[in-house]
Amino acid sequence: MKLKFLGTADSAGIPVHNCTCNVCNKYRKNNIQNLATSAYLEIEDKIILFDAGVENISTIFDGKEIKAIFLTHFHADHCLGLLKLRHSKDTIKCFHPNDKDGFSDLFKHTHSILYNKLDEFESVCIDNISFTAIPLVHSKKCNGYLIEYKNYTIAYLTDTSKVSEKVVKFLKSKKLDYCFIDACYDERKEVGNHLNYFQASKILNSLNVKNGYLMHISHTTQNYIEKNKVSLKYKYLKNEHIFVFD
């Protein structure tokens, strides 16, 4: 099984349109980009998506079987691709938090998407992989996900401004091998809809995670880190990444 990230940036992506900061200019010069945070599991030729914010996600996975989608929340940068993907010839299950408003007209015109609400700490199993909804604190109802596969336990926690004591206690009981957590902000911002890198690192420390990673980085955060030579305990994911779990 492989966990692949299509992107690990915030909603603006990198480079940001017409931004001339050092980070955005460097990405342009090297002809690279970091898309909004989105990931997927690849098991043989089958795909399980975590969010679908990339607009052309239906094209990216054309010819592949999408077994399921685990949506963290209904902000556009996490579900925009569903507007096209819902016209798939395949029926696709989409698991999501309890949000009656959803996004745009996705609930009104479901087409090929079967929407399934997941309550807090509710689990489903797909192809011998367990997925558990982890309640997060955001401006919209939001679920992180605990993935249990063979001897691996993996937490995917985006977007969030806080991780409750109840969630920390639950995740610690699972003895996490990997945890990927929202760290959108730099240290200058301590209150908002996301965590800064120090807040996220403190949570990773409390979870006693074997391998911790920061994600959902903004261009301003990356620019601040590079300009001020900020030293961090945990590594930021700044582009596409692949993790292999045998």
Superfamily of domain 2-244: Ribonuclease Z/Hydroxyacylglutathione hydrolase-like (3.60.15.10)
* Single pTM value for the model: 0.97
The tens digit of pLDDT for each residue in 71-97 reads 999 999 999 999 999 999 999 999 999
Interval 153-180 mean pLDDT: 97
Percentage of the chain modeled with pLDDT above 90: 97
CA dist 146 and 123 (Å) reads 9
pLDDT grade for 246, boundaries at 50, 70 and 90? confident
The tens digit of pLDDT for each residue in 19-72 reads 999 999 999 999 999 999 999 999 988 999 999 999 999 999 999 999 999 999
Q: Which residues of 188-222 are buried (b: 16+ CB within 10 A; e: fewer)?
A: eeeeebbbbbebbbebbeebebeebbbbbbbbbbb
Interval 1-26 mean pLDDT: 97
Where are the domains positioned within the chain?
2-244
pLDDT grade for 239, boundaries at 50, 70 and 90? confident
The tens digit of pLDDT for each residue in 59-75 reads 999 999 999 999 999 99
Distance of CA 188 to the CA centre of its chain: 23
Closest-CA residue to 96 (of 57, 143, 52, 157): 143
